[in-house]
Structure 1
């Protein structure tokens, strides 16, 4: 029997969601997105779980969305509705994480790219191994990172967000920690254990107080996040219908430099 690509485990007060698609550096298919949503819903009702650790299997955290799958969709005629459905589901996942009643700790064991970086930014805490990287290369594929842009701005500020989104560069774990995308860097082999220690600290507080604090941060301080993510979903869907997107994804498949229209 094939192992599921999204695995959920509970150990004492810690819920763990891990992404497993090692051969594709944990790139997310449409099915995996639905499975991630279900994983968070499953842990929502686990009373003994005080925090959730989100991590990746193998050497990557998550390399973003599956570009092979996106390339297949972009070949279809009149695919705007399909793109809107997909980006709405992605927005649903990010908003679910923001409203999740328990802290989410991203344990970033390797590259977090594109929507994978968005998963980190939608988490409440982010600890990273030395090999973790972070980047938003979507413009190099002719599309935009509309869903993640509001979260990036929320976590690191406008200047750092502009540089990452406009250059498409991938930065090191050290640089990501310097700008606030990662909280701290710990040895990769200790990531889960350190996440469990953070969970113990969280468990010393009243669950209702933690939930209310998270709601205050994300709904009050970040009061426009949900709206901006929804707007970003629509912008992302539109960007995927352009000739630039078709060329960018085709160039990726053919392993060549794009020739922009």
Structure 2
């Protein structure tokens, strides 16, 4: 039975979870209660062996998320964040399952940083991305300062960090920030199509690929990364899927994947 949530919606479709930030009246801006609720959602997703892929989107047709709820902050209420960061994702570094951001409008400030923390981004043609924190005396402290230059290069990242300007979906695609653009209002559908492509593959293979990719990027050079002995490699060769994949191929049938 799905837990009741106040600030998000969670729909489970076999191995796919769809998580919707549900504060459309606030353009899906997040305050502490919403952040802690999302942390709980992604904790459950991480621990569920039957959950293989997640999609994160925003309610309504205006915004994925406009980031930190500045009205809540201006009210003087305490600002606390979960250990896993904004939306329970920006400081979560031990989740090997893929998360797709379906950006259906504004992804501003912390909302953009949430998208950057996801593995893949699908955006509709009306989506826009920005880190406007310096315009209100803040900074992109939920990982944007560090993730953006790693994903698009230092010079362009510095421009976006220093100016807070909007980046259209088309420009975001050109600079390698997002994976796919779709028609307005179709971001969730496009994310589902991408998720379905992933779900055709072994979840164990996907998870160890993500883990090894992230670990390898932290190493000094390509040779070190290739020759390193990863724990994930042992997980793969001792898994059900390592046997099932070739067996299904030989028997000319669809594989019956497992996450173990």
TM-score, normalised to structure 2's length?
Answer: 0.75
User: Is residue 33–residue 93 contact of structure 1 (8 Å, CA) maintained in 2?
Assistant: no
- Equivalence for 1:212: 208
Superposed displacement of residue 191, structure 1: 2.2
Superposed displacement of residue 188, structure 1: 3.4
Structure of higher CA gyration radius: 2
Higher RCO (C-alpha 8 Å, min separation 6) = 1
1:67 maps to 2:70: yes
Q: How far, CA to CA, are the matches of 1:6 and 1:44 in structure 2?
A: 17
Deviations 1:23-53 (A, max 9, x none): 1101101110001111111222333332100
Deviations 1:40-97 (A, max 9, x none): 1122233333210000001210001000122233xx8xxxxx66x538552663132x
Q: How far, CA to CA, are the matches of 2:193 and 2:162 in structure 1?
A: 37
Q: How far, CA to CA, are the matches of 1:95 and 1:132 in structure 2?
A: 24
Taking the TM superposition and a 5 Å limit, the aligned residue runs for 1:56-205 are: 56-58=58-60, 59-73=62-76, 85-86=80-81, 90=85, 93-96=89-92, 98-147=93-142, 148-205=144-201
CA distance 1:178–1:29, shift in 2 (3 Å): same
User: Is residue 54–residue 98 contact of structure 2 (8 Å, CA) maintained in 1?
Assistant: yes
- Equivalence for 1:248: none
Deviations 1:141-198 (A, max 9, x none): 1111133111111211111110100001111111111112211211233322222222
CA distance 1:198–1:222, shift in 2 (3 Å): farther
User: Is residue 13–residue 199 contact of structure 1 (8 Å, CA) maintained in 2?
Assistant: no
User: Is residue 50–residue 202 contact of structure 1 (8 Å, CA) maintained in 2?
Assistant: no
CA distance 1:50–1:93, shift in 2 (3 Å): closer
Gaps of 5+ in 2: 221-260
User: Is residue 83–residue 91 contact of structure 2 (8 Å, CA) maintained in 1?
Assistant: no
Secondary structure at the aligned position of 2:216 is classed as helix
Secondary structure at the aligned position of 2:49 is classed as coil
TM-score, normalised to structure 1's length?
Answer: 0.75
CA distance 1:210–1:65, shift in 2 (3 Å): same
Deviations 1:201-246 (A, max 9, x none): 212322222111111222331569xxxxxxxxxxxxxxxxxxxxxx
Gaps of 5+ in 1: 77-81, 225-261
CA distance 1:95–1:215, shift in 2 (3 Å): farther
Kindly tell me the number of residue pairs found equivalent between the two proteins: 214
Runs of 4+ deviating beyond 4 Å: none
CA distance 1:195–1:223, shift in 2 (3 Å): farther
Larger helix proportion of the pair: 1
Q: How far, CA to CA, are the matches of 2:184 and 2:40 in structure 1?
A: 27
